[in-house]
């Protein structure tokens, strides 16, 4: 078991971000589907850590005190590379998808409430 403190975790996160950026710039499929660098690097490192744990019985733990601020920064900036030209290029299919998502968001609470009442009735 190997534990990284706060600074080690920040250094590891920075290296994962740089690795993800390198993957996105060098793999055309990731660039075509605009996969963010943190996602690409994180997936690669997660697979590496899984392999280390399963095959070498070697585990790395990270300090989680900065998890919430870093997740907030990630999700706040994830859409910064979106632009109006790409939205227009999506055309009709993107508009249909947008309305389906909005309908799901609008119906989420009533459906959850109805499901809760139904679930209580089943029990």
pLDDT tens digits along 38-47: 899 999 999 9
Q: How many domains does the chain have?
A: 2
Q: Are residues 98 and 66 in the same domain?
A: no
Q: Which phi and psi angles does 116 have, rounded to 5°? A: -65, -45
Q: Over 70: is that where the pLDDT of 122 sits?
A: no
Domain of residue 72: give its range.
1-82
Residues 23 and 77: their CA atoms lie apart, in Å, by 19
Q: Are residues 107 and 73 in the same domain?
A: no
Q: Are residues 19 and 72 in the same domain?
A: yes
Confidence of residue 123 (pLDDT cuts 50, 70, 90): low
Q: Are residues 61 and 102 in the same domain?
A: no
Confidence of residue 121 (pLDDT cuts 50, 70, 90): low
Q: Are residues 13 and 44 in the same domain?
A: yes
Q: Are residues 62 and 88 in the same domain?
A: no
Q: Are residues 58 and 111 in the same domain?
A: no
pTM for the model stands at 0.62
Burial, 120: exposed, middle or buried (Cβ in 10 Å; 0-12, 13-18, 19+)?
exposed
Q: Are residues 58 and 95 in the same domain?
A: no
Alpha helix positions (H), the chain: 6-26, 28-32, 37-56, 67-77, 84-122
Terminal-residue alpha carbon distance, the chain = 44
Q: Are residues 74 and 98 in the same domain?
A: no
Q: What is the CA radius of gyration of the chain?
A: 20
Q: Per residue in 59-104, pLDDT tens? A: 999 999 999 998 898 788 877 777 778 778 888 888 898 899 999 8
Q: How many other CB atoms are there within 10 angstroms of residue 38's CB atom?
A: 20
């Amino acid at each position: 078991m190997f534990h990284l403190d706060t600074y080690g975790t920040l250094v590891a996160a920075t290296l994962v971000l740089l690795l993800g950026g390198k993957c996105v710039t060098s793999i055309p499929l990731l660039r075509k589907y605009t996969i963010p660098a943190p996602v690409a690097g994180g997936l690669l490192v997660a697979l590496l850590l899984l392999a280390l744990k399963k095959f070498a019985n070697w585990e790395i733990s990270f300090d989680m005190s900065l998890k919430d601020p870093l997740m907030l920064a990630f999700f706040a900036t994830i859409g910064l590379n979106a632009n109006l030209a790409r939205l227009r290029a999506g055309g009709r299919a993107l508009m249909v998808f947008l309305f389906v998502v909005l309908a799901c968001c609008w119906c989420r609470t009533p459906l959850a409430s109805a499901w809760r009442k139904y679930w209580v009735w089943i029990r």
